[in-house]
């Protein structure tokens, strides 16, 4: 299977697949000796499928590598696997809480503009001009609604 076909099958771009190979998230592809095209076998497909599945669940590459390592340690218990999932789940839950707090604050801010008119009197701008309060300062690590890790 060539890279374009694989990309379609797994709903990602060819660039992403080449990138994963480059950083070692998937093993090197086999190359066609004539034209240097990448070719993929069932093993590759399964591995990439696993990775994409994890990414769809918003796991980081680091977390995915931990899962892959844990999986390959035959006979080991799945405690490590559970731990990775639990930790990730906590990241997601925490991020949801943060965003919900943010949502509240934005609703409150939005209501400040009661009487649309000249912007100097806009309650929103007045509010944003005022000193930062401690509630809002609480959300330090958020770069634009992103980054649970």
Q: How far apart, in whole angstroms, are the C-alpha atoms of residue 137 and residue 36? A: 54
Closer to DNA by CB, 30 or 76: give it: 30
Tell me if 88 contacts a second copy by CB under 8 A: yes
Q: How far apart, in whole angstroms, are the C-alpha atoms of residue 55 and residue 68? A: 13
Q: How far apart, in whole angstroms, are the C-alpha atoms of residue 17 and residue 35? A: 18
Q: Name the segment binding a second copy (CB under 8 A); options: 16-24, 31-39, 138-146.
A: 138-146
Distances (CA, A) of 3 to 16, 28, 63, 121, 143: 10, 12, 25, 57, 34
Could you say which of 55, 87, 92, 98 contacts DNA (CB under 7 A)?
Answer: 55
Could you say which of 24, 37, 53, 71 contacts DNA (CB under 7 A)?
Answer: 37
Q: How far is the CB of 41 from DNA (least distance, A)?
A: 14
Size of the site for DNA (CB under 7 A): 26
The sign of the dihedral angle between the CA atoms of 53, 83, 77, 62 is positive
Of residues 117 through 136, those in contact with a second copy by CB under 8 A are 117-120, 122, 124-125, 128-132, 136
The entry of a second copy, DNA, none near residue 4 (CB within 5 to 8 angstroms by kind) is: DNA
């Amino acid at each position: 299977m060539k890279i374009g076909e694989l990309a379609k099958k797994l709903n990602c771009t060819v660039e992403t697949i080449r990138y994963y190979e480059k950083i070692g998230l998937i093993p090197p592809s086999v190359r066609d000796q004539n034209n240097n095209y990448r070719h993929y076998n069932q093993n590759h497909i399964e591995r990439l499928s696993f990775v994409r599945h994890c990414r769809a669940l918003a796991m980081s590459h680091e977390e995915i590598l931990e899962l892959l390592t844990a999986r390959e340690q035959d006979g080991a218990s799945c405690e490590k696997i559970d731990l990775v999932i639990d930790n990730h789940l906590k990241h997601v839950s925490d991020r949801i809480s943060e965003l919900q707090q943010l949502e509240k604050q934005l609703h409150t801010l939005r209501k400040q503009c009661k009487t649309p008119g000249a912007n100097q009197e806009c309650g929103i701008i007045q509010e944003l001009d005022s000193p930062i309060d401690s509630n809002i300062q609480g959300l330090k690590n958020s770069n634009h609604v992103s980054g649970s890790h």
